[in-house]
Copies of this chain bind each other. A is one copy, B any other.
Amino acid sequence: MTQPDYDPGPQVAHAGTIDLGTPDLERSLWFFRDLLGMEVVEQVDGVAYLRGYQELVHHSLVLTQQDEARVNSYGFRVKRRQDVELFNKQFEDQGMKTVELSSGQEAGRGEAVRFLVPGSEHPFELYYDIDKPLADESIRSKMPSNSSRRRGLGVRRLDHINLQTSPATVNQAESWLRTELGFRRREFARLPQAPDIMLASWLSVTSQVHDLAIGVSAEGQNAQFHHVAFNVENFHDVLTAADEIRDLDIAYGHGPGKHGIGQAMYLYVHDPGSGHRIELYSGGYHIFDPDWQALEWKLPELEYGQTWYGDVLDVGPGGAFLSTSPSAGLVR
């Protein structure tokens, strides 16, 4: 086949990294490294870079020692090296402010562009180049598709990111993510009391039901972080994690249970160093249909969309499940 003479334009490949600010780096490292079983690939000047055992790239999680438990960045990898620059030009053409990050500014990563999502003001970073270092021999896997051996509670990889913003900005942000970054709406729900407003939208650029979700913040604030999900292999791994975490003196959160939305098992816990909500996530269905029609959830079915079975999420007024962390601005 002769390659057609065209440029498909810049595209996002997948959710790639998250930089969680933590006031207690050592405690956060205990949680992610010793309990969840992630590998610390590099640690320098109060910043640690971690990955799951099935990630070949340098890191998916950055833990930054800092006073405030905010999220410093949400990173998405693009499909080609030139897409970083192409996206940057696209954003500038729209009058958006961007910040260019040089190679190595985030260890292991190449050049990136940073910007705030219009409306929700979440600090996104797009990058392509990222190192693929071998793990230390002491933990290296015999399996070439794994960077290290399965350890701890068995976190394989970053799965998806869940964000919240004010009712006034959620539609704008969700729409922008679709039209400008190419996310497709897979499932969604509208606010029952204000059906013009998106309660939550599950978006993906991959076959996953969501690489990114965005919804309404209970406190009505922009740039909020609800959770980041890490993928484990089977439903049973979620049960094992629940069993072990329940027996520790850390904030348990909610779960285990199975979402109707996405059909995956969930367990929500909190990093005891930072308080950020972390989801351990397994399963779910994949969307390969090219003509997928976004599924809408309405009351009362929305209840089993949230919890098909298992520990019910308290999403009512004041529900602890709705607490969020703030994000950094355009310049960290």
Contacts and interface: CB of A to CB of B under 8 A. Distances in A.
A263 B8 contact: no
B179 A290 contact: no
A301 interface: yes
Contacts of A8: 4, 6, 8
A143 B260 contact: yes
A76 B156 CA distance: 30
A239 B242 CA distance: 14
A150 B235 contact: no
Given A90-B1, A258-B243, A145 B288 contact: no
Interface string A289-331: 1100001010001001000111110000000000000000000
Copies in the complex: 4
Residue from A54, A145, A182, A236 having most chain B Cβ neighbours under 10 A: A145
Interface stretch (A62-70, A192-200, A218-226, A244-252): A244-252
Contacts of A312: 311-312
A289 B207 contact: no
A304 B14 contact: no
Interface string A69-98: 000000001111000000000100000000
Interface string A1-40: 1001011110001100000000000000000000000000
Interface of A: 1, 4, 6-9, 13-14, 54, 56-57, 77-80, 90, 128, 141-146, 149-151, 154, 156, 179-180, 182, 187, 206-209, 233-237, 239-240, 242-244, 246-248, 255-258, 260, 262-263, 283, 285-286, 288-290, 295, 297, 301, 304, 308-312
